[in-house]
A and B are shown apart, each in its own frame.
Chain A
Amino acid sequence: MFDNITLGQYYPAQSVVHALDPRMKICLLVLSIVAIFLAGNLLAFVPVMAFLALACKMSRVPVKLLIRGLKPLRFILVFTFLLNLFFLQGETPLLNLGFAVIKKEALILSVHYALRLVLLVLFSSLLTLTTAPVTLTDGLERLLSPLRVIHFPAHEMAMMMTIALRFIPTLLEEADKIMKAQTARGADFESGNLIKRAKAMVPLLVPLFVSAFRRAGDLAMAMEARCYHGGEGRTRLRVLKMAKNDYLALGAMGLLIACVVLLSRVY
C-alpha cells in the first residue's frame, strides 16, 4: 500500500541545473515568483515560459514529469478558471451560452490567473525535481541562518527536516507491518464508507504514534551521546559554494524580470 509513496519527487541526473547551489535555486524560485506576479499581460508570460522551458531542457528532467506536478491541482485549476470565466466583469461579449455571456476581458483574465498558478507550480516542481531533499534542507538552513539574530531557529528547523526525511521510510515500513498484523487479526482497512475507513485507521495510528515517540526518545539519547548540542560551534561536512554558473543563472533571472516588466509596460 505504501510502495508508491516516493519522497519528494527528486529526479537524479547530472545537469547544470542539478549542480546549482541550492541557496541560489531557492532565490531563483522566489525571483521567478516575483516575475510571474509582475507579468501584467499575457504577452509578458512568454519570456517566463521560455525561461522555464530552457531551464527544464537544461535540467534533463522529462517534461512529462514536470507536468505531472500539476495533476493534484487539476480540479482547482479548472474550477477557478470556470468561476473566473463566468463571473469576472467585462464589456465585450464574446459568446452567448444562453445561461451566461462570456466576455472577452473575463476570458483574458481567467487565462492570466490560470497561467500564473500553473507557472508557480511548475517552477517549484522544477526546484524539487532537481534538488535532493537533503540538499534543499541544507540550502534553507544556510539561507535562513542570518535570521538567528531575531531568534529564528534555522538550524533546529533544518535538523527537524533531516530527521523527518530519515524517518519517513522507517515509519512507513512500520505502518505497513502494523497494518499487516492487524489485517491478520481481521481488521479491514479497504472497505466501507469514509467514516468506517477512518475508524479502521485508529488501531493503525495508535501503535504507530506510540512507537514514534519511543523512537524520538531513543534518537534524542543517541544524538546526545554523539555530542549533539545544537547549532552552536557546529562544522559541516558539506560546504556550499557559489560558482560561476550560479551567478550566470542569477543574471539570466535578472534579464527575465527586466523583459517581463518591459513587456507589461509597453503593451
Chain B
Amino acid sequence: MPDLIFDVQNVSFAYEEGGPLAVRSLSLQVPKGAFYAVLGQNGSGKSTLAKLMNGLYLPTEGSVSVCGMDTKDEKHTWDIRCRAGMVFQNPDNQLVATIVREDVAFGLENIGVPTEEMPGRIEQALRDVGMTEYAERAPHLLSGGQKQRVAIAGVLAMRPEAILFDESTAMLDPQGRREVLSAVKRLNRELGLTVIWITHFMEEAVDCDKVFVMHSGEIALSGTPREVFAREEALRALRLDVPPMAHLAQTLREAGMPVQDVLTVEDMVREAKRLCR
C-alpha cells in the first residue's frame, strides 16, 4: 500500500447524540501527494468531513487515521493537527495576530518551536506563498486572497504533510480565487503537499487527481474529474452543475457533434480543431 496520509474507515458522525448523521459510514483513502477535490451542495457534510480528518471532531463510529495515528488517541492530537493543517472559509476569522509575521508564527509558538528556528521557517513559508514583502503588514489591510495566502503560510510553517481547504476561495473575488488556487497547486506540485480541496466551484475541481461528490453525508460519486463530470445527469440529480465547458460539450453531443473528453477551454479548442479538420 502506498503511503496513506488520511485513512477514513466507515466513519459516521452526529453533532448530537442520537441526532441525524452529518457523515454516514464514509470511507476515503488519501495517498501522499494527492490533490483531491470534494464537492457537494450546502449541508452535505463537507466541512464535517474535513474537521473529522484533523481531529477537530472525533468520529461517532469508525476511525480516522492521519499518517498512521488514530485521531481518537489523545496523545497524538497536536501531532495530527501539525501534519494535517486546515484553512477555513472566512479569511478574516482565522488570523490571530496584528502583524502578518506574527500570525505565521502563531502555530509555531503553539507547538513550542524554539525561538531561533522561527524566523527561518516564517520566511520560507511566506516565500512559498509569495507574501514575503507583506511580512510586516497588518492583516486587515490585505486583500482577501492575500489574507488566505497568509493563512496558508501559517499552516505551511508548521511543515504539514497535508492541508485541508474548506471552501477557502468561497469569499474571494475571481482574482483572489485564482491567486489562492494557483499557489496551492504549486505547493502540491513542488513540495508534494497533499491537498484536500473542498469547494462549490466546479471549475476548480477539473484538474485535480480525484473528485468526490458528497450528498447527505455520503460519497455519492467519485472518480477522476473526467469520469465524474461526464455524468451530467447524476450531478444534476445531486443539485450540482457541471463545469461550463463540460456542459457545452454535452449540448454539442446532443446536437450530434462527437466531442469527447471536454472539461476545460483548452480541451474544447482541441476538440473543435479536431472536428474542423
Contact = CB atoms under 8 A, between A and B. Distances in A.
B105 A218 contact: no
B98 interface: yes
Interface in A129-183: 133-134, 162-163, 165-166, 169-170, 173
A134 B98 CA distance: 8
Interface residues of B, number: 40
Nearest to B114: A235
A170 B94 contact: no
B158 A227 contact: yes
A136 to B, nearest CB: 12
Interface string A1-32: 00000000000000000000000000000000
A165 B102 CA distance: 13
A226 B107 contact: yes
B78 interface: yes
Nearest to A218: B93
Interface in B73-98: 78, 81-82, 85-86, 88, 90, 92-98
Contacts of A162: 96-98
A219 B110 contact: no
Contacts of B109: 234-237
B112 interface: yes
For this complex, into which size category does the number of interface residues on chain A fall? 20 to 34
B210 interface: no
A106 B111 CA distance: 61
A218 B94 contact: yes
Given A170-B140, A173-B140, A222-B88, A163 B82 contact: no
Contact of B105 (A165, A224, A237): A237
B50 to A, nearest CB: 10
A247 interface: no
A226 B115 contact: no
B98 A133 contact: yes
B82 to A, nearest CB: 6
A169 B140 contact: yes
Contacts of A239: 115
A175 to B, nearest CB: 14
A225 B106 contact: no
Given A221-B56, A234-B112, A235-B112, A228 B92 contact: no
Contacts of A236: 109, 115
Contacts of B86: 222, 225
B45 interface: no
B94 A234 contact: no
Most interface-central of B88, B94, B102, B110 (chain A CB within 10 A): B110
B78 A134 contact: no
Nearest to B90: A218
Given A162-B96, A227-B81, A235-B113, 10 more contacts: A166-B97, A169-B140, A219-B96, A226-B81, A226-B106, A227-B111, A235-B114, A236-B109, A237-B102, A238-B102
Interface of A: 133-134, 162-163, 165-166, 169-170, 173, 214-215, 218-219, 221-229, 233-239
Ranked nearest first, the 7 interchain pairs of A and B with the lowest CB-CB distance are A218-B93, A222-B94, A237-B105, A226-B107, A227-B110, A169-B140, A225-B86
12 contacts: A134-B98, A166-B97, A166-B139, A214-B93, A226-B81, A226-B110, A226-B155, A227-B110, A234-B112, A235-B108, A237-B102, A237-B108
Interface of B: 51, 54, 56, 78, 81-82, 85-86, 88, 90, 92-99, 101-102, 105-115, 118-119, 122, 138-140, 154-155, 158
